[in-house]
């Protein structure tokens, strides 16, 4: 009798384990046999744009999972460690700087949009109103310094050294500074909207993704902004070789589609400018 009970218990346990295994397999698989694609992104506008692309990709057999990041360092670390299939938060000069600094083997799978960077001030309505010795607060990301300085040069406030690559310019490359502007470069980019709202400094230079995320309108609230010809295109970055994967190409194609580009224009009214390169 005991022998039969042992057999029955063993059979019952085997059936339970088999059932659990079947359930687990279904749970781990993508629905409808779709390919899963994990992309890291900044909250705004990147994750918002990806959410709009999500149902379009699903119809093409790709289930998009979006992982949100609040900084500019972790998305590349996550891509390197293969936690992500791609990321969407950075522009080309920043990617190049990160590759040089960290020896990442990353490439761009395609440019998606430009976020014109702006100058914001609680004290002055025009850039030319900044007084002599004005305190300008900017990101500690060296990859953004050339961009910020080029904007100030375009507005006639400073002059950069002749013959340099302005995308890699630093404060040391400023050769003319008639207003003796003081550059404060020790802050995380994500903190700049709060610094602006606190009324710190005479002006704050803020990346548009952080400005929009904080409820600012770059076109209305800034006292100066980059034009649409900015070379700082935000890209889909992937590990080298993955740019040729079908699902990555589909992602870029969808983000370049008229539906998504029209959405960007309507949603951000020029504060984010779509590209298709």
Mode of pairing for the β-strands spanning 86-91 and 233-239: antiparallel
The predicted pLDDT at position 227 comes to 78
Per-residue pLDDT reduced to its tens digit, 262-273: 999 999 988 999
CA distance 57 to 35: 10
The pTM (predicted TM-score) of the whole model is: 0.78
CA distance 74 to 84: 11
Is residue 39 within 8 A of residue 238, CB to CB? The reply is no
User: What stretches of 28-158 adopt beta strand conformation (E)?
Assistant: 35-42, 62-69, 86-91, 106-114, 118-120, 135-139
The predicted pLDDT at position 31 comes to 58
Per-residue pLDDT reduced to its tens digit, 7-30: 444 444 443 333 333 333 333 445
pLDDT at 32 exceeding the cut of 90:
no
pLDDT at 66 exceeding the cut of 60:
yes
Domains of the chain: 34-115+232-274 (3.40.190.10), 118-225 (3.40.190.10)
The predicted pLDDT at position 16 comes to 39
Ramachandran sector of residue 126 (left: φ over 0; alpha: ψ -120 to 50; beta: rest)? beta
With 0-12 / 13-18 / 19 or more C-beta atoms within 10 angstroms meaning exposed / middle / buried, residue 197 is: middle
Mean pLDDT confidence for 56-73? 97
Confidence band, pLDDT 50/70/90 cuts, at residue 277: low
Listed range (141-145, 197-201, 226-230) with the worst mean pLDDT: 226-230
Mean pLDDT confidence for 60-83? 97
Query: Residue 185: which of 137, 153, 134 has the closest Cα?
Result: 137
Residues above pLDDT 90, as percent of the chain: 77
């Amino acid at each position: 009798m005991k022998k039969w009970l042992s057999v029955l218990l063993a059979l019952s346990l085997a059936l339970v384990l088999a059932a659990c295994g079947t359930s687990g397999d279904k749970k781990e698989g993508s629905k409808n046999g779709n390919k899963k694609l994990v992309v890291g992104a900044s909250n705004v506008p990147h994750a918002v744009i990806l959410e709009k692309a999500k149902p379009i990709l699903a119809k093409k057999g790709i289930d998009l999972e979006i992982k949100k990041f609040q900084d500019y360092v972790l998305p590349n670390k996550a891509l390197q460690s293969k936690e992500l299939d791609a990321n969407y938060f950075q522009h080309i000069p920043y990617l190049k700087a990160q590759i040089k600094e960290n020896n990442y083997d990353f490439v761009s799978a395609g440019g998606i949009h430009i976020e014109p960077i702006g100058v914001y001030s609680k004290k002055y309505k025009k850039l030319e109103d900044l007084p002599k010795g004005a305190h300008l607060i900017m990101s500690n990301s060296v990859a953004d310094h050339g961009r910020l300085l080029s904007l100030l040069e375009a507005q006639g406030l400073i002059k950069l050294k002749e013959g340099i690559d302005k995308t890699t310019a630093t404060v040391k490359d400023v050769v003319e500074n008639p207003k003796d502007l003081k550059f404060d470069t020790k802050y995380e980019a994500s903190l700049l909207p709060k610094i602006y709202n606190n009324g710190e400094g005479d002006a704050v230079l803020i990346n548009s993704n952080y400005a929009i995320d904080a409820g600012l309108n770059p076109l209305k609230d800034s006292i100066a902004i980059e034009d649409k010809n900015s070379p700082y295109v935000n890209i889909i970055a992937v590990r080298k070789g993955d740019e040729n994967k079908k699902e990555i190409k589909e992602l870029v194609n969808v983000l370049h589609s008229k539906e998504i580009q029209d959405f960007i224009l309507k949603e951000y009214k020029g504060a984010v400018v779509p590209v298709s390169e």
